[in-house]
Amino acid sequence: MTTSTDNKMEKIVALCKRRGFVFQGTDIYGGLRGAWDLGPLGVALNNRIKSEWWKMFVEGREDMYGLDAAILMNAKVWEASGHVAGFVDPLVEDTETSERFRADHLLKDNGIDAEGMSLEMIDATILERGIKSPKGNPLSKARTFNMMFETRIGATAGPEGQVYLRPETAQGIFVNFKNVVDSMSPKLPFGIGQIGKAFRNEIAPREFLFRVREFEQMEIEYFVRESEWQEQFEAWRLAIWQWFDHLGLSRENIQEFEVPENDLAHYSKRTIDFEYNYPGKGFDELAGFAYRTDFDLQAHAKASGQSMEYVEGDGTKLVPHVLEPSFGVGRALTAVLCESYREDEVNGEVRTYLALPTHLAPYRACVSPLLKNKPELVEKARGVFMLLKKEFGNIAWDDNGNVGKRYRRQDEIGTPYCIVIDFDTLGENPDLLDTVTIRHRDTGEQERVAISELVSRLK
Ligand code: ATP
């Protein structure tokens, strides 16, 4: 059964709330725009995405090192990186309601690409095309708005107390470049990977987890000799596609967008956005991949007075160039949910299920006794549950309602296998003693498997 893309996203958001994946942040006080909380199943899925990423890109490679830098950093980092001066978005206000909008997004909604436009060009376009706010009111002149959250540390009132919540994890890697080189003696090319929170005071957070003010990034800074950046760029591009395959995203739902030269960030010589086809929204950024040249290391060398040179085996000194694959965890989670959301018909009723890959599913399997009021069944089922829980950890127990209802509940949260302990398990049919039924989520097919083989079968 097909689901119209228009309301598919609404159904996913409703499922996320109903089944404990994602809740509106601070819900009981009316929420906070741009902030979402992960529920028990959301945090399980989120953690799995992060641990699979870490396995693939850090532990799975010989040329990668992990890092976890502090969120709060000396403010000089953000001056040197150009964020204090330039991490801005164009803002316009509804002159009647004072509501604020991203000018480039408003223009895009009116079919105009505002990438690279100056504030004057935005003003002129708004005037020329008669663009109004979504409520139909006149708009203010465009101005820039810095997206970094500012805060203060300690009790000092002066400028030395000024700090920012990091708007990207990348700078934590650059400022530790020397530390990693000195402590690990890596050979070029090599990379540093980090997963952590980032904060952006987005003017208009919207579209569920797509544009929020607090989010997680999984970022890699890959250090190369300048002469090899193109070759390494191609290798990483393939690795990024493999990551999307591993998330179970189909290739036709992803496209590469080559950012035109005049729209490139000040530090980049080439950037590709990987875009996902979000239902009801269309293709938009899922991850970014930028060649950042030696901009950041040179900027920090200049501002800190510390050398960022790398010494090759033959004594040659150089400041490496950088390739940066940058992934948002929330956008990956959204894409995974959109990709796996399915509806079909079982016994004349609509069934909703998440066809999540087993390595991402919050629960790998659910164990239940056929009937909950038969102690001998419950006891046997508890034994199987404990056996699997010890092995995999993420095993659910469900003895509520009838078996059909349990299947529906587990389907909806993407549990790949449901295991039922029945009277045959206890030996009512001697041939089936100590075997259980495994029911497969996507096909509904059932098979009989010996308890002794369950662990290897579920692996
Ligand atoms: P956009 O153009 O959509 O604002 P960006 O190009 O500014 O994104 P990058 O700076 O390249 O984003 O950040 C890398 C990744 O971090 C993005 O591909 C995205 O997955 C994630 N990300 C960035 N901003 C947000 C946000 N406000 N909410 C959720 N994820 C974000």
As a three-state string, the secondary structure of 355-397 is CCCCCCCCCCEEEEECCCCCHHHHHHHHHHHHHHHHHHCCEEE
- Residue of higher predicted confidence among 11 and 6: 11
Query: pLDDT-based confidence at 158, cuts 50/70/90?
Result: confident
Whether residue 199 has its Cβ less than 6 Å from ligand 1: no
**Who has greater pLDDT, 2 or 400?**
400
% the chain with pLDDT above 90: 90
Please check the confidence at residue 6 and state whether its pLDDT lies above 70.
no
Tokens of residue 161, six digits:
């107390």
Whether 323 shows a pLDDT value over 70: the answer reads: yes
3-state secondary structure of 14: helix
Q: Exposure string (b/e) for 179-215, b if CB count within 10 Å is 16 or more? A: ebbeeeebeebbbbbbbbebbbbbbbbeebbbbbbbb
What is the pLDDT averaged over residues 273-296? 96
Cα 404 to ligand 1 centroid, rounded to whole Å: 41
Q: What is the pLDDT of residues 91-131, one digit of tens each?
A: 999 999 999 999 999 999 899 988 888 899 999 999 999 99
Indicate the pLDDT class of residue 294, thresholds 50, 70 and 90: very high
From the CA of 328, give the closest atom in ligand 1: 20
157: pLDDT strictly greater than 80: no
Query: What pLDDT does 160 receive?
Result: 79
Q: What is the phi/psi pair of residue 195, to 5°?
A: -120, 130
Q: Which two tokens stand for residue 408?
A: 């529906």
- What is the Cα–Cα distance from 290 to 285, expressed in whole angstroms? 13
Q: What is the CA(290)–ligand 1 centre distance, in A? A: 13
**Nearest CA owner, ligand 1 atom 16:** 328
Written as one letter, the residue type at 128 is E
- Tally DSSP H helices, then E strands, for the chain: 14, 23
Q: The whole model's pTM is what?
A: 0.94
Q: Whose CA is nearest to atom 9 of ligand 1?
A: 288
Dump pLDDT digits (tens) for 126-139. 999 999 999 999 99
Q: How far is the CA of 82 from the centre of ligand 1 (A)?
A: 17
Confidence check: pLDDT of 200 > 90: yes
Which of the four pLDDT bands, split at 50, 70 and 90, describes residue 344?
very high
The model's confidence at residue 346, banded by pLDDT at 50, 70 and 90, is confident
Mean pLDDT of the 420-448 span:
96
Please determine, for residue 340, whether its predicted confidence score (pLDDT) is greater than 90.
Answer: yes
211-235 average pLDDT score? 97
Helix (H) or strand (E) segment spanning residue 199: strand 190-199
Burial of 24 from C-beta contacts in 10 A (0-12 / 13-18 / 19+): middle
Q: How far apart are CA 207 and CA 205, in angstroms?
A: 7
Band the pLDDT of 80: cuts 50, 70, 90: very high
pLDDT at 125: 94
